[in-house]
Structure 1
């Protein structure tokens, strides 16, 4: 009996921490578990709680040793507190991609996510238990005794898990086969696993690498005597089904409706986050083959255009180009010293200031300009537009989206689309006078969509396989100048219903600039007649 009490005392900290994580940090897990089953079963609910506790304790026992127990648990309580906040508030999943998004988040994006509720979570569920752990006295023991106790604990936990799996075998068979989504909400197991994945990947990718040239055979077609001016607008978080051009009930595109634009309303994104979608759409790898390591080790579409003699400019009012414009002319328009249209934040319209001067300075050759919008970036949608674009009310005026109704969130989001509509109309207005010297074109393609509270899900970044359709169907629009010879407006309209994706952008931009290379796939060029 004394040995058993000593065993419990030795492992009490780990077991207590596991119990705390299970009871207070996994509300989203149990909420999704309940949603997954039409009928509530109390015995299985208790069993899943025991299973989660056991799995958490098992993970902790594997990473916590006497000298590392306190610092690891203190760190985990802080991490789990923030994860609990975002899971409970926005229903997000903290996987490897989400951790990548966090690492790449800039100060302005971080400010949008700051709330006093988050501070409350950090203090109550993070700092307080971390402080309690710091005050715990861990008994000294020999290596042999510690190893024995560790082995006994792991064995006991495995037996406990096996007993639950055996006692509810049919339930667990269904749970693991049909409700994989629920497992993503296990806190802190999923965040820890994802962080390890990200760390391994980052460490592997950090090794010096030689960037492989892409499209070394690329050249302008000898039969093409026209100059081409293309503006590619990379949108942010704009979902296709909130564009009135696509049949949305609210008039979110009043200005574009007056132009000869075609909305590609059946387009799928490469990912559900900027960190994946933006590099993927320029990589030429396609969604099925995209990998960040492959992307970083190779040149991309813009490098190919530049090699073929196209003058390429990237202007950014978002986080950055995600590595796309590393070797090209890049201008940061989040800086008020450069962007002349800034108030509470720098506006996308500022991306156009001085752009005609850039065009005029290039007397020969083709020009491709990429404008990376702040667009509809959440959760502070109300910050993405000025009062002039507040067309739909009442609009959510806080980044605490759960405080607003779905209608208020939708109104705020739709106002950002109205602002984008205005911005795109200004792009077209810039291109029109240049038709006398260029074949002009505007391609607008958002990086991904957004969840606006449907079924309790907010923002974006869900794993692609389980992400809501709203996150995977971004808005995309094409405008061609009057001098465009390859395709008429009526021919372009016939392509509006075609099933397209970000994968089509690579060959389409090559085709727009009449670039000849073996990389070009005419079947993927959605502007080819």
Structure 2
């Protein structure tokens, strides 16, 4: 027995350390549901179960000389996960890893704090260094296999011994409190990393299925269309005064004849999911990243119909949407090289500079412009708007949200919505100036919402099935010119309280552009009057 434990001493010690020091958020969630005074036996058994599960994974992963590297990596990874779980109450799943993979330096810098450095150095680098200095027992392969088999069996047996006597409570725990399991560190991050690695290991060239190659604008459409799709960022529906919020976050849009859709839901809880999904021909229920990459999207279809398409991006990228069609112009507005309105960062308003020139340079054909905002991206909300828009005070001048009060975080976030209100009013002003030559419209819809500390949860990216409403109910606003003859304001306004979603963007855009195609589904076109 002594030899058995000695051969796997360090994986077991590591599992004990991870259980004790890297699962603060996990056990906080457990104790919020199962108070220790009434559930001591269950909570104690859960501690043992988490240790056994973690040890089981480490025992299987650690092989001879690679043990130091494996354990060192897991310490560092668990330290990062612990920081984000403890600080923002977020979940590290495969979607969150996709967000990390697709983020840029600017977004990463907003998440960089002294506290993060402390977590990584103390909980990550230090134990990784110490584990690199330990001596490992030299054991033959046959003995290693025997020891692993015995230890795995022992861990499973111990787990069974603590679970079976409390099977009724465990049945309830796994059935009714699934969200808590997502906070098990490092089990959930390791599982997510495995899913992510497996998904990206397939390098087989993808055959992209064409969508809407039959798309065309009928000869009977004698008017030119100018449509601006504004892809918002992190704007939750309930912070728009147009939707009943008590603070005047929409002073300019409230003076315009706009429709604000009050019950509009997103396809995902992160940009990496929602942006591709909203432009894809698949609804949320049928969407997957694999299907998206294997299919053309709305931008491709517009190109098939010979629409002039411009995508201006003040966010991290188009997330694979505007990368294929040759007659689509993509412009990056994240740097002063392109964006002429920059202070501590480049502003969304800069995407409007020179836009009239683009319109004037296309004297024929319809035009679709996509403007991808930086919007309200957190946690550094205070960076998302110019100083003139700091109307709601006091504010949170920190990217470490736990150092700010609920009021400060709320005010700062609301200032970002105030700036979006200004930006959208400028878009409408540009469209009004072009109304004599075009039937024009603006469709604004945010990619996802944001948690601002409700129930201890911050930011976004929670698994959709368990995500709070704040992350899935988003701002969505439409404006149409008076000369738009396909639909009236009143017909659109009649749908302002109806349940709508990102699923509607694809088909509503075709309705705006009056494009005919077999890919068009009129029942998902917001412009179609209610039957």
Deviations 1:487-528 (CA, angstroms, capped at 9, x unpaired): 222222111011101001111000100000011111100012
Choose which of 122, 125, 128 in structure 2 pairs with 1:124: 122
The answer as to 2:243 corresponding to 1:232 is no
**Aligned mates of 2:433, 2:142 — CA distance in 1:** 82
Residue 313 of structure 2 contacts residue 373 of structure 2 at CA under 8 Å; is this kept in 1? Answer: yes
**Aligned mates of 1:347, 1:54 — CA distance in 2:** 50
User: Who is 2:108 aligned against?
Assistant: 110
The answer as to 2:410 corresponding to 1:410 is yes
User: Who is 2:22 aligned against?
Assistant: 25
Please give the TM-score of this superposition, normalised by the length of structure 2.
0.98
Choose which of 68, 71, 76 in structure 2 pairs with 1:70: 68
Choose which of 268, 276, 283 in structure 1 pairs with 2:265: 268
User: Who is 1:193 aligned against?
Assistant: 191
SS of aligned partner of 1:41? helix
**Aligned mates of 2:402, 2:300 — CA distance in 1:** 43
User: Who is 1:461 aligned against?
Assistant: 461
User: Who is 2:437 aligned against?
Assistant: 437
**Aligned mates of 1:305, 1:228 — CA distance in 2:** 12
SS of aligned partner of 2:434? helix
User: Who is 1:155 aligned against?
Assistant: 153
Deviations 1:216-273 (CA, angstroms, capped at 9, x unpaired): 1110022111000000000000000000000000000000000001101111100000
Residue 217 of structure 1 contacts residue 518 of structure 1 at CA under 8 Å; is this kept in 2? Answer: yes
**Aligned mates of 1:263, 1:176 — CA distance in 2:** 39
Deviations 1:101-160 (CA, angstroms, capped at 9, x unpaired): 001110000000000000000000000100110011001011111111111110110000
**Aligned mates of 2:145, 2:491 — CA distance in 1:** 73
**Aligned ranges 1:474-513 → 2 under 5 Å:** 474-513=474-513
SS of aligned partner of 2:268? coil
User: Who is 1:288 aligned against?
Assistant: 285
**Aligned mates of 1:420, 1:78 — CA distance in 2:** 38
Structure 2's unaligned 5+ residue stretches are none
Residue 18 of structure 2 contacts residue 186 of structure 2 at CA under 8 Å; is this kept in 1? Answer: yes
Cα drift, residue 177 of structure 1: 1.1
Residue 34 of structure 2 contacts residue 43 of structure 2 at CA under 8 Å; is this kept in 1? Answer: no
Deviations 1:73-108 (CA, angstroms, capped at 9, x unpaired): 000100000000000000000000000000111000
Deviations 1:270-307 (CA, angstroms, capped at 9, x unpaired): 00000000000000111001011111111101110111
Q: Which moved more, 1:481-490 or 1:376-385?
A: 481-490
Q: CA RMSD in A?
A: 0.9
User: Who is 1:356 aligned against?
Assistant: 356
**Aligned mates of 1:168, 1:528 — CA distance in 2:** 56
**Aligned mates of 1:221, 1:280 — CA distance in 2:** 28
Choose which of 292, 296, 299 in structure 1 pairs with 2:296: 299
Cα drift, residue 210 of structure 1: 2.3
SS of aligned partner of 1:168? helix
**Aligned mates of 1:173, 1:207 — CA distance in 2:** 42
SS of aligned partner of 1:516? coil
SS of aligned partner of 1:157? helix
User: Who is 1:184 aligned against?
Assistant: 182
**Aligned mates of 2:406, 2:195 — CA distance in 1:** 35
**Aligned ranges 1:45-64 → 2 under 5 Å:** 45-64=43-62
**Aligned ranges 1:302-317 → 2 under 5 Å:** 302-317=299-314
**Aligned mates of 2:253, 2:49 — CA distance in 1:** 54
**Aligned mates of 1:194, 1:64 — CA distance in 2:** 19
Cα drift, residue 483 of structure 1: 1.1
SS of aligned partner of 2:448? coil
SS of aligned partner of 2:444? strand
Residue 34 of structure 1 contacts residue 40 of structure 1 at CA under 8 Å; is this kept in 2? Answer: no
Residue 491 of structure 2 contacts residue 527 of structure 2 at CA under 8 Å; is this kept in 1? Answer: no
**Aligned mates of 1:489, 1:13 — CA distance in 2:** 68
**Aligned ranges 1:134-145 → 2 under 5 Å:** 134-145=132-143
**Aligned mates of 2:186, 2:225 — CA distance in 1:** 52
**Aligned mates of 1:57, 1:372 — CA distance in 2:** 45
User: Who is 2:169 aligned against?
Assistant: 171
Residue 318 of structure 1 contacts residue 373 of structure 1 at CA under 8 Å; is this kept in 2? Answer: yes
Please give the TM-score of this superposition, normalised by the length of structure 1.
0.98
User: Who is 2:389 aligned against?
Assistant: 389
The answer as to 2:376 corresponding to 1:376 is yes
**Aligned mates of 2:63, 2:492 — CA distance in 1:** 65
SS of aligned partner of 2:8? helix
**Aligned mates of 2:218, 2:289 — CA distance in 1:** 31
**Aligned mates of 2:367, 2:173 — CA distance in 1:** 54
The answer as to 2:58 corresponding to 1:88 is no
User: Who is 1:15 aligned against?
Assistant: 12
SS of aligned partner of 1:14? helix
**Aligned mates of 1:394, 1:258 — CA distance in 2:** 27
Cα drift, residue 185 of structure 1: 0.5
**Aligned mates of 2:180, 2:33 — CA distance in 1:** 8
Cα drift, residue 456 of structure 1: 0.2
**Aligned mates of 1:399, 1:126 — CA distance in 2:** 22
User: Who is 1:249 aligned against?
Assistant: 246
SS of aligned partner of 2:65? helix
**Aligned mates of 1:155, 1:136 — CA distance in 2:** 26
**Aligned mates of 1:34, 1:309 — CA distance in 2:** 59
The answer as to 2:237 corresponding to 1:211 is no
